[in-house]
Amino acid sequence: MLCKKKIMPCFIHRSIRNSLCVALRYHTPHLLTSDIRAPGICQIHSLFFKVPISNLLVPMADAEPMLVPAPGGEKRACPALEEEDHSTKRPRVQKDEKNGGPSHKLPQDEGDEPEGEETEPLEEDGEGEGLGSGEAFAEMMKHGLTELDVGILKFVSEHKGFSGILKERYSDFVVHEINKEGKTVRLDDLSVPEEAEEAPVEQPDQPESQVFTEEQKQQLEQLQLFKNKEGNVSIEVADDTKEKRTLVHKAVKTLYPGLETKTEEREGKKFIVAYHAAGQKALAAPRKHSWPKSRGAFCHFVLYKENKDTMEAINVLSKFLRMRPNVFSYMGTKDKRAITVQEIAVLKITAERLSHLNKCLNNFKLGNFCYKKHPLKLGELQGNHFTVVIRNITGTEEQVQQAMSSLRETGFINYYGMQRFGTTAVPTHQVGKAILQDNWNEVIDLILKPRPGAEKGYLVKCREEWAQSQDPEAALKKLPVKRCVEGQLLRGLSMYGKKNIITAFAMIPRNNRLMYIHSYQSFMWNTMVSRRIEAFGLKAVEGDLVLRGGTAFVLSAAEAETHSIQDVVMPLPGFDVIYPTHHVGKGYREMLSADNLDIDNMRHRVRDYSLAGAYRRILIKPSDVSWEVINYEDPRVSLVHTDVEKLEDQPPPVFNKEGKYRALRMEFSLPPSTYATMAIREVLKMDTSIKNQTQLNTTWLN
């Protein structure tokens, strides 16, 4: 029997509430929420439990000390992880970016996120005021977007839809990258290749692992894991030669990533002191050691991660290795709320050093190491393979069969997914429209003005201050987190003044700025494709566009007879594209004109905001489609056998055919720049917006 317990936050100190929130999330299997990773959806102010919450809370005198694990993969106390440093790469207009996210933190990604550029992660505070409960988040979502708001209107299949919960657990969404050779990337080998064990020429007789005694190894390992209360480890090298001391320095840094060394003299004796690197020192260029000429300069490896997006993962790895993030390369960004597996390359870091990270990082695993002469390039992958679990489905066996058969044989409309447009009352495409209109006061207003719905307390205060005073410095003081979009913009306004808004706006990282205008393009594309499907259905017609060798051509009536809807593309508006010649194509001009934009002049006075445009297929047909309906008893149990579980020889999940819960587990592969949520939408025929999913979860819990 479900019972609802509500703990009023005013009776519990905030620090205790925060600790209790984390403890409940990680240590209470009784929690029965959808576990959507959004602000406030899973907090203590209002939670549903199978047992009374009083059973979970014990008096202080009776409570045993409990260590609360840090969420997200890295060690909570690691000073090297407290300051973030991010790299920015120039985007390509034809490629896709990440979108979603609370406040005006630019949209978050999904595992099916288009590959081709990454955004610079902006800081977000952990537990803020004002989003203290599931009700508060649900209240915010009342003002959020639905699919209708962003032009997602049509389906291609005729089966009757059914409901289900997507990503109830992050392990319900598993993504494996498909590399440029067409091979699905999997983590199946943690060993270090033999060539990585080659000893440098300077020390041919003594491997690094034999430099330390067993006691010293134990002390260094405890120091690396922040279990050493002294904060350092001293190794006496009084009688050693300079060559031996050099070997000790190198061995510490190679075998225990995250540690730095220095030589000290005490009472006439020399010691090498190992300690944790932190701050700017952690980002300093690493000391150069010999690198065999026969070995490729780049170590390629498979990164398995849980509940972290790709840029977050890269930053964690770079801190532990004392490298800048830009020494890493990859083919595409992957979802945060998922288990994802992808290939990464790093410049002149040995497989041995990388493999040692497996000892000190949670929710990460590195393996399948090899050396190559080249890095990876964004967009050179062939796609992604998805394993998706949709829980608590209501569809019959026949409905599921019809839905999945249609997905396999017909496909789905290639809409841009909801995360492309943000989750708040101010959609990102509205900001993009204001940028293209050169209406900079509107841009500032949309980002900084107060908005309906619940928000973090400091953001509410910041917006109120801006609305009342229009003073960027005063508003900035209300923000404890300065690296959110609002903070970056206010800092720019403080530095350059309100008469130099374009320069101030440029304080926001370039890729994040471009996502606003790309969001507007996506909104246009979704809307026009819905009109195209409404007008002509699922067949090629005269006036449609197709690509031949990368160039778009208009179909004649005769040519339309020889093409299918799978060949048809629609343009994202820009100065370097052509438009369909039928009446739907003319709708582009009408829609842009209604927004005070000129279809014949899509160049902006700021070069970055000039839109070249691109083409995108209307319909996508997944490959490697398979599915099964699963009955299960325990909603806490994962329904997917992960790569790490296979490596550890853990048995696959066992399903109870008489279980009271039903789930649809599906697998399929998609090309780059397509959204898996849009494929799932076609199966369920259900709105995939967070607003709708929140309502669905609330209904299910009640």
Residue numbers annotated as active site: 335
CA nearest 11: which of 20, 1, 3, 2? 20
Backbone angles phi, psi at 233, to 5 degrees: -130, 130
Q: How far is CA 60 from each of CA 63, 64, 141, rounded to the nearest angstrom?
A: 5, 8, 37
Q: Quote the DSSP letter at residue 161.
A: P
Contact 647, 655 (CB under 8 A): no
Reduce the DSSP state of residue 326 to 3 states and report it.
helix
- Residue that has been written with the tokens 């050691």 in this structure: 289
Q: Residue 578 and residue 544: Cα distance in Å, rounded?
A: 11
Q: What angle do CA 346, 350, 356 make, to 5 degrees?
A: 100
- Judged on CB neighbours under 10 Å (0-12, 13-18, 19+), 659 is middle
State how far the Cα of 297 lies from the Cα of 415, in Å rounded to an integer.
40
- Nearest Cα residue to 415 out of 654, 634, 112, 103: 112
Find out whether 255 and 196 touch, Cβ atoms under 8 Å: no
What phi-psi label fits residue 55: left (phi over 0), alpha (psi between -120 and 50 degrees) or beta? alpha
Token pair 């091979």 is at which residue? Answer: 183
User: CA geometry: angle at 364 spanning 363 and 368, to 5°?
Assistant: 145
Under DSSP, the state recorded for 212 is: S
Do the Cβ atoms of 380 and 92 come closer than 8 Å? no
Instruction: Report the alpha-carbon distance of residue 97 to residue 104 in Å, rounded.
Output: 16
* Contact criterion met (CB below 8 Å) for 191 and 237: no
Give the CB-side neighbour count of residue 350, counting CA atoms within 13 A: 25
Are the C-beta atoms of 378 and 659 separated by less than 8 Å?
no
| DSSP classification of residue 410 | T
Q: What are phi and psi of 613, to 5 degrees?
A: 90, 175
CA distances from 494 to 177, 288, 460, 503 (A): 43, 41, 19, 11
